[in-house]
Amino acid sequence: MSIPTELGPALRAWRERIGPADVGLPVTANRRVPGLRREELAVMAGISVDYLVQLEQGRAGNPSPQVLGAFAQTLRLNAVDRELLYRLAGSVVPPSGSVPREVPPGVQRMIDRMSDTPLAVFTAAWDIVQTNALWGELFGGRAEPGAGPANLVWGHFAAPTPAGASRIERDAAHADAFERMMVSDLRRAADRYPDDRAVLELIGGLREANPRFADLWTRYETVPIGRSRKTVVHAEVGEIVLDCDILTIERADLHIVLNWAAPDTGAAQKLAVLRDRVATAAG
């Protein structure tokens, strides 16, 4: 009797999607399948071919966490697909390793096309991964050598404003909403990556450095990521009122932060000045 589950079709789809070269196997000219053979996946996962056939055909269920872990590693599943694998198998998703930092090529192409918007990419724990030129022109400042990756939450709650950086101001309501959102999202990252020592150290340092963060951390709030508003005080063009949107790339577990100025406003004109400056420097 077959077991009603989508695990089998998912395993077949993932197996067919990954090539032998991706897992270190030799590529021969006489291969008749686009991805991994069942025999290859079975060997790498440490199970019998017969058991893999049963799983793919829905005649077996409840694979062990060890087998699921081997599938996830061999099939090079990202965080979202890994979670789906465990869920389809009716198993609890175990903690994963460290917070990912890799920007997928498709996401990178999207980022590259948005050069006219101040944009930065952050990890799930809000370490900065990359910024575009307009972001650098808008916010300025550089981290000290050897200081490690800049972190948005640390920068807000604990770090002094870097030399040459623009000052960021928020009214009381927007500051409260922003801080609650950041702390809540950092907790989500800590829950997803409990083995990442850097995240634990970041949280510990923030709790010691800032009573406001410590208070928010103990509230255990669940606050969704949303739009915020701030005023950037730039050394040369002055105050720029900006709306901030955050795009979450689930498959890569990254945040893309974009800043917008309302059309036909002084803020839009000042942002245009900075945009022209970036274009001149690049030209």
User: Helix (H, G, I), strand (E, B), or coil: what is residue 233?
Assistant: strand
Please report where in the chains the tokens 């997928």 appear, as a residue: 104
The residues near 185 (Cβ < 8 Å, ≥ 6 apart) are 124, 126, 223, 225
For residue 2, pLDDT over 70 is answered with no
pLDDT tens digits, 150-199: 899 999 999 888 888 999 999 999 999 999 999 999 999 998 888 899 99
pLDDT tens digits, 25-55: 776 666 677 788 899 889 888 899 999 999 9
Q: Which of 283, 260, 249 is nearest to 108 (CA)?
A: 249
- Interior angle at CA 219, CA 214 and CA 221, nearest 5: 120
Q: Where in the chain is the domain with CATH 1.10.260.40?
A: 7-88
Assign 3 a pLDDT band (cuts: 50, 70, 90): low
Q: Which of 226, 253, 248 is nearest to 96 (CA)?
A: 253
φ, ψ at 123 (rounded to 5°): -75, 175
**What is the mean predicted confidence (pLDDT) over 232-236?**
94
d(Cα 84, Cα 13) in Å, to the nearest integer?
13
Domain spanning 7-88: CATH superfamily:
lambda repressor-like DNA-binding domains (1.10.260.40)
Structure-block tokens of residue 200: 């634990």
| CATH 3.30.450, applies to 105-282 | yes
For residue 142, pLDDT over 60 is answered with no
pLDDT tens digits, 209-226: 999 999 999 999 999 988
For residue 1, pLDDT over 70 is answered with no
For residue 148, pLDDT over 70 is answered with no
d(Cα 16, Cα 11) in Å, to the nearest integer?
9
Q: What is the pTM of this model?
A: 0.72
Query: Across the chain, what does the average pLDDT equal?
Result: 88
For residue 78, pLDDT over 70 is answered with yes
CA-to-CA separations, 174 to 57, 180, 228, in angstroms, rounded: 53, 10, 7
Q: Where in the chain is the domain with CATH 3.30.450?
A: 105-282
